[in-house]
Amino acid sequence: MSLALSIHRDDNVATLLEDTSPGPIALLGESPQKGITAVEPISRGHKISLVPLAAGAAVVKFGVTIGHATCDVPAGAWVHTHNCASRLDARSATLDPHTGAPTDTKYE
């Protein structure tokens, strides 16, 4: 079973501690939940939604709102730049979710 870490009991996302496939994830840390079921593959270090997030809902990590959902996100889904906008870095919405490369700048 894969592992994820939730730092604060108010977090609605957790960080994957290893690459995971769809299936059960055990939660470590302060989450009142003991586990979540991943609905898609998620890479180590990325976020998984612990609850369904409606479009516009706050994304909370470390007990702090780090952004908001840009569309409905089901519980167990990957939370990243394709479905979450940062409160901290407006440019993050222009980054490719898989490579992190900027998509708003052309290099020749």
> What number is the average pLDDT over the span 73-94?
82
Q: What is the spatial distance between Cα 72 and Cα 83, in angstroms, rounded to a whole number?
A: 8
**2-94 to CATH, choices 2.60.40.10, 3.30.1490.190, 1.10.3470.10, 2.30.130.110:** 2.30.130.110
Alpha helices in 4-103 (DSSP H): none
Looking at residue 108, what is its pLDDT? 65
Whole-angstrom distance, CA of residue 44 vs CA of residue 53:
21
pLDDT at 86: 80
Burial class (CB in 10 A: 0-12, 13-18, 19+), 3: middle
Q: What is the pLDDT of residues 17-66, one digit of tens each?
A: 999 999 999 999 998 999 999 999 999 999 999 999 999 999 999 999 99
Domain borders along the chain are 2-94
